[in-house]
Copies of this chain bind each other. A is one copy, B any other.
Amino acid sequence: MRNRGLKKNSSKPCQNVVLKTGLLAERAQIVRKKVIPYQWAALNNQIPSAEPSHAINNFRIAAGERDGDFQGMVFQDSDVAKWLEAVAYMLASHPDEEWEAKADEVIDLVARAQQADGYLNTYYTLVEPDMRWTNLRENHELYCAGHFIEAAVAYYEATGKDQLLQVVCKLVDHIGSIFGPEPDKKKGYPGHEEIELALIKLYRVTGDQKHLDLAKYFVEERGRQPHYFAQEAKARGDDVWRHWGKWEYPYSQSHLPIREQTTAEGHSVRAMYLYAALADLVLETNDEELRRVCEILWENTVNQRMYITGGIGSQEYGEGFTVDYDLPNDTVYAETCAAIGLVFWAHRMLQIDPQGRYGDVLERALYNGVLSGMSLSGDKFFYVNPLQVWPEVARKRYDHRHVETTRQEWFGCACCPPNLARLLASIDRYIYTQNEHSLYVHLFADSELTTEIKHVPITIRQETHYPWQGKVRFRVKASSEVKFNLRVRIPAWCKNPQVEVNGQILESMDLSQGYLVMARPWAHGDEIVVTLPMPIERVRANPRVRENIGKVALQRGPIVYCLEEVDHSPNLPAIHLADHAQLAIAVDEELQMPVLIGSALRWDDSGEELYTTSKFALKSVRLKAVPYFAWNNRELGEMLVWINSGGGIPFEGSRRRIRRNYEVVKENNNYGTLERIV
């Protein structure tokens, strides 16, 4: 690890982790087996039923090897880069000659499309060669460069091959010749952040200070006056407000210099990429002021502007944040990429200072708002992740036009699927971080870590059915005894964790910042069992979230649940979950995962009157809540996360009543000993 100065708690991700079984392993495998091949086909226009990407073709044309016109979005190149990055992560954990050969070919093609001066962007090369670097606000040149840098670093680390690294170093040299603090250079920065965090990754590989400096420059220059986006528009002879409307500068987080920003604003993916870069800068520079800015933005994001799913972005217009506590469930944006960006940021916050609250958000976003973006089968995707869907209204209401009621094969703006692929293909790297004294466990997943602590090679086998069961067993394999702090995140949702070390229950637990600290010499054969009881929880939103007053969301462990029409009848909001109604967990045959079952009440909506002074009747109905991420995998229909609840409506959905509704058997299965619905 490059020296990060004095920051005593900082730690770096452990990269040598093999996922074994369980939800994350399955999702990562789906990415390897289906998503990466599917996206390869998509990039090559080989999916007849999906919108054609043209991305590979654009590079062929730019390399002078094919005739034709550029097609696609101005940032179409980035889909190729994100795919390469995902392939790199796949090759790191699951070497595969065939895919490595394909990636090598693509990298060679990218190299051939690079211009002599280092410039790389097929849109400008093919469409507006004389207009390079004239519209940073809208046209994504630096954004695409950032994705190629990330891909190059990942591919280099995975394969040792540096062709793409050389391409991006040349590209970065070119960029550095155009932009920077020196008087003769343009004072530009990207409209869509991305290159900042990429340059820091590059710096960590190359050790070249100029890469860090350029990242720092882009972050710090943003939002300064006179405003660069106004200047470049004027230079183009363009009206600065054209295509701009209400978005204005907050849309691109350029309304203020970063050190003066206090609220999460604008396009939520852009914001996440900026804030992640900010965290990286803190890691690299120990800048206390930037750390405080990072912390303030974090608090605003997760405590005032985040959905329970870890989704962010409350409106389609500007794809971004609105105001504190404005979290509409149906017109929501919550782009998959934004939840992914939040995971990136949280992961970096954990590296700066491992606090459970960062891990809690990472886990919330990952298991809910991120995983929901991809179908269980891995071939369909959500761009927008609503928390409440009424398909008839989504089709008819213009203010719902961005809400797809079923996952799509591909998108004209295909940012989310490749972003999902690169995150899930590298999710093994999010489980542990370590520093000199400590090994941190941030996520729970059946897996094996291989690392070295104080020069002692050590293997940690983590055995768990998480996130479906809260028992996690760690087995230490080491050639010799080594003293270090094993720090295990205790999620905030867990009220009474239990820990056994080598069969002995730990009577007094040392909990610090959301981590259980076990400081002792660890030796081969040591076994730690952490049990995180996972009762079914009713979660309430702060009443400042006006939409959710009187409602509860169901959560068990890190998984947020939702209701689907297929398990009920239409009109899910008519379901009322009494405060004391018991719920049980059981494995659903069709979804092949644990769901929540119980009895609820339902307002009788069969009456003809639209308004009445009469009270409506309540009747008892079966309730089944499925993991939010797994919704819309059976059939089209309504979906609801926040369930009407509360009050002391005199009803108890007893265990006996659940049994009357659902027949279940107790058995050993993949999830331990959950009941199964038969």
Contact = CB atoms under 8 A, between A and B. Distances in A.
Given A326-B397, A611-B542, A574 B603 contact: no
Contacts of A304: 610
Interface stretch (A90-98, A115-123, A524-532, A646-654): A646-654
Interface in A343-397: 390, 392-393, 396-397
A209 to B, nearest CB: 40
A549 B399 contact: no
A232 to B, nearest CB: 26
Contact of A549 (B246, B314, B574, B614): B574
Nearest to A245: B398
Q: How large is the interface on A (under 10, 10 to 19, 20 to 34, 35 or more residues)?
A: 35 or more
Q: What is the total number of copies of this protein in its complex?
A: 2
A290 interface: no
A362 B420 CA distance: 55
Interface stretch (A5-13, A16-24, A315-323): A315-323
A647 B604 CA distance: 15
B647 A303 contact: no
Contact of A544 (B553, B571, B647): B571
Contacts of A647: 550, 646-649
Interface in A282-328: 302-304, 306, 308, 314-318, 322-323, 326
Interface in A162-218: none
A603 B543 contact: yes
Interface stretch (A133-141, A146-154, A477-485, A533-541): A533-541
A3 interface: no
A543 to B, nearest CB: 4
A392 B304 CA distance: 14
Interface string A644-667: 101111100000000000000000
Given A549-B574, A611-B540, A323 B392 contact: yes
B398 A317 contact: yes
Contacts of A576: 549-550
Given A393-B322, A393-B323, A399 B331 contact: yes
15 contacts: A302-B610, A303-B610, A322-B393, A323-B392, A331-B399, A539-B612, A542-B611, A544-B571, A545-B610, A549-B573, A549-B576, A549-B603, A550-B647, A553-B611, A647-B649
Given A246-B398, A331-B331, A544-B605, 18 more contacts: A304-B610, A308-B611, A315-B396, A315-B399, A322-B396, A322-B397, A331-B399, A390-B546, A539-B613, A540-B613, A541-B610, A542-B605, A543-B573, A543-B604, A544-B571, A549-B574, A550-B644, A647-B649
